[in-house]
A and B are shown apart, each in its own frame.
Chain A
Amino acid sequence: GDSVTQMEGPVTLSEEAFLTINCTYTATGYPSLFWYVQYPGEGLQLLLKATKADDKGSNKGFEATYRKETTSFHLEKGSVQVSDSAVYFCALSDDSNYQLIWGAGTKLIIKP
Chain B
Amino acid sequence: NAGVTQTPKFQVLKTGQSMTLQCAQDMNHEYMSWYRQDPGMGLRLIHYSVGAGITDQGEVPNGYNVSRSTTEDFPLRLLSAAPSQTSVYFCASSYSISGPLGGGDEQYFGPGTRLTVT
Contacts and interface: CB of A to CB of B under 8 A. Distances in A.
A95 B42 CA distance: 20
Given A95-B99, A98-B99, A42 B42 contact: no
Nearest to B4: A43
Contacts of B101: 32, 34, 93, 95, 98, 100
B41 A49 contact: no
A99 B47 CA distance: 10
Contacts of A99: 45, 48, 58-59, 100
Chain A interface mostly helix, strand, loop or mixed? strand
Interface string B53-96: 00010110000000000000000000000000000001010000
Interface in B18-50: 31, 40-45, 48, 50
Interface stretch (A11-19, A67-75, A78-86, A102-110): A102-110
B106 A49 contact: yes
Contacts of A89: 42-43
Interface string A28-67: 0000101010000111111001110000000000000000
B115 interface: no
B104 A32 contact: yes
Contacts of B100: 93, 95, 98-100
Contacts of A98: 31, 48, 50, 56, 97, 99-101
Interface of A: 32, 34, 36, 41-46, 49-51, 89, 93, 95, 98-100, 102-105
Given A43-B92, A99-B48, 5 more contacts: A93-B100, A98-B97, A100-B45, A102-B43, A104-B42
17 contacts: A32-B101, A42-B111, A43-B92, A43-B111, A44-B90, A44-B92, A50-B104, A93-B99, A93-B100, A93-B104, A98-B50, A98-B56, A99-B45, A100-B43, A100-B45, A100-B100, A102-B44
